[in-house]
Chain A
Amino acid sequence: MVQTLATTLVVASLYALLGAGYVLVYRASRVLNLAQGDLLTLGGYFLFAAAAAFPGAPAVSLPLAAALSALTGVLVYLVLMRPMAGHPVFAAVLVTVTLGILLRAAIVFVFTDRTRHPLQNLALTNPPRPLPGGAVVSTFDLVMIATATLLFVALFLFLRLSPLGIQMRAAGERSLLASQRGINFHGVFALAWALAAFAGGLAGIVYSSNVRLEPSLDVLGLRAFAVALVGGLDSLAGVIPAAILVAAIEVLSIRYGNPLLSDVSPFLCLLVMLLIRPWGLFGTKEELERV
């Protein structure tokens, strides 16, 4: 029982990190970034490359990989999303799809399809850690939970208390008014994309150390957007309960239900949510009319 709870928390943390990325991008560009899963994969590959370049120095490789992910986010905004400013939302979403395709092609081109394990080059191990109650998790499972928690705390503090965070919220709500107020909203949106890519990259770094790294990890991103929608596409606070809910349904269906349904359960959650409460658990209702 405790083990199931622990597993749920680990899976929920992964989904929460990805979900945070979706929400941040949505609040900035009003777009669903369907390349979030590929940003996760990219983060993992940045770690692999950094670990190969600086073997045995995790203190260098980990921050480097995270920084590169954030930088990718900025580049994506400047090169792809800013030109799409006046275009319909549909076109912008498709541009994120093409971004995913390009990222995936680049990854396969440079690293080929082989499965990689960055942990080997980092000179770190992933030993099991017993928890009270009889559950056992691996070290990086705990790192995943810790990362998600820290990231959310940092994001909340940033968005609520820091001037730049407040500017980001303002620009996300009413970009025209914000720009007239003197907020450099291109800079702020670029920062939002950087944070989203950073969150996805962190997820990729921890996941690839914990499990494995291969180009097809973007399927995790597809599952996680169910989380973003269930929580409310513009609600960062909603991501946490939504992630726990979706992860719980998935894990419980494996443990006590039909395991094969676990593959499609996030999408079923998504569909149910769309039918009964499209704006999610904590999203704002006006969002629905805005599109």
Chain B
Amino acid sequence: MGLGGGYFKTSHAADLSLVDTHLRKTALAILVIVLLTLPRFASGFVLDLASQAALAAVGALALNVLTGLAGQISLGHAGFLAAGAFTTAALVERGVVSPPVTLAATAIVGGVLGLAVGIPSLRLRGLYLALGTLAMHHVVLYVAGEMQARAGGNTGFTIPPPRLAGFVLKGTVAWYYALVAAAAVVLLLSVNLQRSRAGRAFMAIRDRDLAAASVGIDVARYKLAAFVWSSVITALAGTLFAWQRGFVSVEAFGFFVAVEYIAMIIIGGMGTALGAVLGAAFVTLLPYGIDAAVATLSPGAAEYYVFPAKFGAFGLLMALFLIFEPLGLVGIWRRVRNWFFLWPFRHRPLRASS
């Protein structure tokens, strides 16, 4: 893990711990304090942005497990989100608003959909799998669209905020805490998954699934497990999305959303949980950054030019990362960190053990 010397693990617990060095512990403590106290000194707009980034991080972490760890290319991520959101809407239509029931139902629907999408993955890989997931995405959206149209002329579903034991979850600050907590939980689960047996099986399948099968890993079971895990988490994120926005309509889940999530894990760095979180934050904040840049550079610019500029900048950045920095932001971070570790040396000595 590139600890730079001076740290020795003297107990099993220390070996297992996620945060080991003093620097990491301090940084984590500072991050937690900042996150907890952010509502005190940040505007509602910033909190909303942070909430969006946290929700995006949940989806990105789920996609990271599927595509980054297990190597199963999925272009249908928006379909899973839509499945979660529309399950919530369908339950609201039938008068069921209890959060535990909704979450459980969404998890089941997500899991079933994940299985359905995952089964082709047993026969297909690479490009063909990507196409299959893309086709699935369109089918899911079609079903959601029909559901929306049939619900008596509604142009979408209004979702009341979730109510649990008299406590209603609404308002920017409450949702900020809820979503950041959700992101933290999913992050913890993802990091743990990576270190576990299943995680290692995923990575083996990603690298060369024939070799993995020959070592005794049940490739079919783990592939399906990856799909199911990813789809369940994403469907739950869809429910959170529906609750927070208070409104669900099929237009919010187009193919571009799936592209955004893939961009998040690519720009962040595929295969690492940190990458997923960084990528999610980056992609969420990018349009606002461009807004700010355009506002300072050419204040009176008509909207006509701002929108394609944002769209184009997103595409350009994604292309640049794909071509020049495939390891993403995490790759950049690691290079920066290694520079600090190795200074004043420029390269690692050949005989280094770490």
Contacts and interface: CB of A to CB of B under 8 A. Distances in A.
A–B contact via C-beta, under 8 angstroms: yes
Given A32-B130, A87-B322, A100-B315, 18 more contacts: A83-B323, A87-B326, A90-B126, A90-B130, A91-B322, A91-B326, A101-B311, A104-B311, A109-B309, A222-B255, A229-B128, A271-B132, A274-B120, A274-B131, A274-B132, A275-B123, A288-B124, A291-B125
Interface string A248-291: 00000000000010011001101100110010000000001001
Determine which residue in B136, B139, B307, B323 has the highest number of CB atoms from chain A within 10 A of its CB, and name it: B323
A274 B305 CA distance: 41
B13 to A, nearest CB: 38
A24 to B, nearest CB: 15
Contacts of B138: 222, 264, 267
Contacts of B304: 108-109, 112
Nearest to B138: A267
B250 to A, nearest CB: 12
A6 interface: no
B315 A102 contact: yes
Contacts of A101: 259, 311-312, 314-315, 318
Q: Residue among B67, B126, B136, B316 with the most chain A CB within 10 A?
A: B126
| Secondary structure dominating the interface of A | helix
Given A98-B318, A102-B319, A105-B308, A274 B266 contact: no
Contacts of A105: 308-309, 311-312, 315
A87 B126 CA distance: 13
A98 B127 contact: no
Contacts of B130: 32, 90, 93
Contacts of B142: 263-264
Given A95-B323, A291-B126, A109 B135 contact: no
Which of B120, B142, B314, B319: most chain A Cβ within 10 A?
Answer: B319
22 contacts: A32-B131, A80-B319, A83-B323, A91-B326, A93-B127, A97-B259, A98-B315, A99-B315, A102-B316, A105-B309, A108-B304, A108-B308, A109-B308, A229-B131, A264-B138, A264-B139, A268-B139, A271-B120, A275-B120, A278-B123, A278-B124, A288-B125
Nearest to A82: B323
**Most A C-beta atoms less than 10 A away, residue of B135, B262, B316, B318:** B135
B74 to A, nearest CB: 10
A233 B130 CA distance: 14
A271 B139 contact: yes
Contacts of A97: 259, 262, 318
6 interchain residue pairs of minimum CB distance: A105-B312, A291-B126, A101-B315, A109-B308, A98-B319, A105-B308
